[in-house]
């Protein structure tokens, strides 16, 4: 009796099916290989060397296998568009809301926000940089957190809802930006793939629940790039104003965003190349409005900003050498390798196509490489452009189904790692003890508590 396993004839004859199956096997192999090489991951927050000590490895292996099988099964289904990606991203981020505040920097943003919550908006702007110590932080994100404290209540859940919304909007905007940069059906495919690949970055999931500025600054940077490109393409007073406002907000989110906004010069240059007169007109209007807003802010807080910049140069800049994490850690362990491989391959594709638009999506990665920024957290605002690079590289694959298998495998494996390895590890950190102690204190019906240290 012949007991040999026979595959369906449709699979045997389908070249795309063969390639898809090969990719699924390769995705599983990559995970296993990285697991055995996990000692070289030097990430300071979620190193694979540590996170797999707190979970069942076999359970992860089984879930990865299931994810790969599902990726192949769903490969006939088109990638969701911006709206679908928004919903998926938000639902995915909700899984991580139980993560404690594991980065000590969040205490600064809480303290600044608390001032607004207690004393109001006017006090916040009057005392920011004075009684409210800003360290090297800009006021926008603590201001948004403070508004929630002031008008909706001091709730971490509300803060997490806001950050998850910003994260999900970034995913959707990334998809929309790809569609507009690379027009036509190819652009839509690149955009949707890039939006989905934003969910193939395990490290990013761990940043969404935290009361930090990295995810909000990523949102404002991506929004400013998208709106500036749209304003240059379509014009109109409303788009020009919205573009200028988004750039102004990005400037107030984080100092490192100032350097990253240089990508707007690339966009302007490309549009000037097409239509010099119209592009210069629109660009100058955006610059004028943004310049007035930014000038008013910096004039009002000139002394504070000057002190912050001095601190960045004398302390933070040298500190980059101490706080470094290897590119191997960031781009093989904390970012799914398929994303990294796609981004690297995109360089070859862009040169072959002689596509000047590629400069827009590769500029930020090039900056980080030249400046040798080697900390995963500092890459967070760059991840949308990196995802677009990866999607651009994948667009060179002739089969749409094969491209989808690559994306689905990267997303399912990344979410599995983040949810079943990273999250349990972070929930067992010492910070969770402080969180539990705080929750216990909230159950006590006393107005005053004495802390003995």
Checking if the pLDDT of 394 tops 80, the result is yes
10 neighbors 293 (Cβ within 8 angstroms): no
Residue 132 φ then ψ, to 5°: -90, 105
What is the mean pLDDT of the segment spanning 399-414? 97
Would you say residue 398 has pLDDT above 80?
yes
Higher pLDDT, 453 or 325: 325
Output DSSP code: residue 397: S
In a domain, 3, yes or no: no
C-alpha span between 26 and 24 (Å, rounded):
5
Q: How far apart, in whole angstroms, are the C-alpha atoms of residue 186 and residue 453?
A: 61
Q: Are residues 70 and 131 in the same domain?
A: no
Q: φ, ψ for residue 47 (rounded to 5)?
A: -65, 135
Helix H segments across 2-76?
A: 9-13, 15-36, 48-51, 57-73
Are residues 47 and 177 both part of a single domain?
Answer: no
Distance CA 58, CA 55 (A): 9
103, 68: one domain:
no
Q: How crowded is residue 171: how many other Cβ atoms within 10 Å of its Cβ?
A: 28
Mean pLDDT computed over 4-15? 54
Structure tokens at 14: 């389908």
Residue at 434 is within a domain: no
CA atoms within 13 A on the CB side of 381: 31
Same domain, 203 and 317: yes
User: Considering all CA atoms of the chain, what is the largest pairwise distance in Å, rounded to the nearest integer?
Assistant: 87
Tell me: do 386 and 410 sit in the same domain: no
267 plus 342 within the same structural domain: yes
Q: How far apart are CA 179 and CA 183, in angstroms?
A: 6
Range of the domain at 62: 10-77+399-427
Asked whether residue 448 is assigned to any structural domain, the reply reads no
- Predicted confidence at residue 9, as pLDDT, reads 54
Q: What is the pLDDT of residues 255-295, one digit of tens each?
A: 999 999 999 999 999 999 988 899 999 999 999 999 999 99
Residues 108 and 174 occupy one common structural domain: yes
Domain count, the chain: 2
- Does 438 reside within a domain? no
Q: Identify whether 157 is part of a domain.
A: yes
The answer on 180 and 219 residing in a single domain is yes
Backbone angles phi, psi at 445, to 5 degrees: -90, 65
**Full DSSP string of 119-143:** H-HHHHHHHBTTTB--TT--SHHHH
Average pLDDT of 120-140?
A: 95
Q: Is residue 2 part of a domain?
A: no
Residue with the larger pLDDT of the pair 103 and 11: 103
| Residue from 188, 180, 349 nearest 270 by CA | 180
Do residue 392 and residue 419 come from a single domain?
A: no
**Domain shared by 244 and 112, yes or no:** yes
Q: For residue 4, name the pLDDT band (cuts at 50, 70, 90).
A: very low
pLDDT of residue 430: 65
69 and 128 housed in the same domain: no
**pLDDT tens per residue, range 84-108:** 999 999 999 999 999 999 999 999 9
Asked if 103 contacts 430 with a C-beta cutoff of 8 angstroms, the reply is no
Alpha helices in 198-322 (DSSP H): 202-207, 214-234, 237-251, 255-260, 263-274, 276-300, 302-311, 317-322
Q: What is the mean pLDDT of the chain?
A: 93
With vertex at residue 131, the alpha carbon angle to CA 130 and CA 133, rounded to the nearest 5 degrees, is 75
Mark out the alpha helices in 312-372 (DSSP H runs): 317-322, 327-328, 337-353, 358-370
- Using alpha carbons, select from 280, 34, 85 the residue that is nearest to residue 198: 85
Question: By C-alpha distance, which of 123, 102, 105 is closest to 114?
Answer: 123
User: How confident is residue 1, by pLDDT bands cut at 50, 70 and 90?
Assistant: very low
Q: What is the pLDDT of residues 167-219, one digit of tens each?
A: 999 999 999 999 999 977 788 999 999 999 999 999 999 999 999 999 999 99
Q: What is the pLDDT of residues 27-72, one digit of tens each?
A: 999 999 999 999 999 999 999 999 998 788 999 999 999 999 999 9
Task: Please check whether residues 225 and 287 belong to one and the same domain.
Answer: yes
Separation CA 48–CA 397 (nearest Å):
31
Residue 443 lies in a domain: no
321-337 tens-digit pLDDT: 677 799 999 999 999 99
Q: Name the 3-class secondary structure at 357.
A: coil
The reply to whether 381 falls in a domain is: yes
């Amino acid at each position: 009796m012949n007991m040999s396993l026979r595959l369906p004839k449709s699979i045997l004859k389908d070249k795309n099916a063969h390639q898809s199956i090969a990719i699924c096997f390769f995705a599983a192999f990559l995970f296993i290989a990285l697991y055995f090489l996990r000692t070289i991951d030097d990430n300071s927050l979620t190193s694979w060397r540590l996170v797999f000590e707190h979970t069942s490895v076999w359970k992860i292996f089984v879930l990865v296998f299931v994810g790969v099988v599902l990726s192949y099964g769903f490969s006939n289904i088109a990638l969701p568009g911006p709206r679908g990606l928004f919903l998926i991203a938000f639902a995915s981020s909700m899984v991580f809301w139980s993560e404690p505040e594991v980065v000590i920097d969040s205490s600064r943003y809480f303290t600044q926000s608390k001032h607004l919550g207690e004393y109001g908006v006017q006090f916040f702007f009057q005392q920011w940089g004075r009684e409210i110590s800003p360290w090297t932080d800009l006021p926008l994100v603590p201001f948004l957190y403070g508004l929630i404290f002031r008008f909706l209540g001091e709730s971490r859940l509300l803060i997490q809802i806001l950050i998850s919304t910003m994260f999900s909007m970034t995913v959707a905007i990334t998809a929309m930006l790809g569609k507009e940069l690379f027009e036509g059906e190819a652009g839509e495919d690149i955009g949707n793939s890039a939006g989905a690949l934003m969910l193939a970055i395990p490290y990013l999931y761990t940043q969404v629940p935290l009361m930090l500025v990295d995810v909000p600054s990523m949102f404002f940077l991506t929004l400013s790039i998208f709106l500036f490109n749209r304003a240059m393409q379509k014009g109109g007073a409303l788009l020009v104003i919205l573009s200028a406002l988004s750039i102004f907000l990005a400037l107030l989110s984080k100092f490192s965003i100032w350097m990253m906004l240089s990508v707007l010069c690339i966009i302007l240059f490309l549009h000037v190349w097409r239509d010099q007169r119209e592009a210069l007109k629109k660009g100058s209007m955006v610059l004028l409005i943004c310049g007035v807003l930014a000038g008013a802010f910096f004039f009002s807080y000139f002394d504070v900003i000057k002190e912050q910049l001095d601190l960045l140069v004398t302390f933070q800049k040298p500190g980059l050498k101490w706080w470094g994490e290897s590119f191997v850690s960031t781009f093989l362990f904390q970012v799914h390798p398929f994303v990294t491989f796609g981004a690297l391959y995109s360089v070859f594709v862009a040169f072959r196509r002689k596509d000047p638009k590629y400069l827009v999506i590769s500029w930020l990665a090039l900056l980080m490489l030249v400046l040798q920024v080697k900390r995963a957290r500092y890459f967070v605002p760059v991840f949308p452009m990196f995802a677009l690079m990866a999607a651009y590289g994948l667009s060179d694959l002739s089969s749409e189904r094969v491209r989808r298998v690559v994306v689905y495998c990267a997303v399912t494996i990344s979410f599995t790692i983040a949810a079943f390895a990273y999250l349990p590890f972070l929930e067992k950190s010492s910070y969770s003890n402080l969180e539990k102690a705080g929750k216990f204190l909230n159950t006590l019906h006393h107005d005053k508590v004495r802390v003995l240290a």
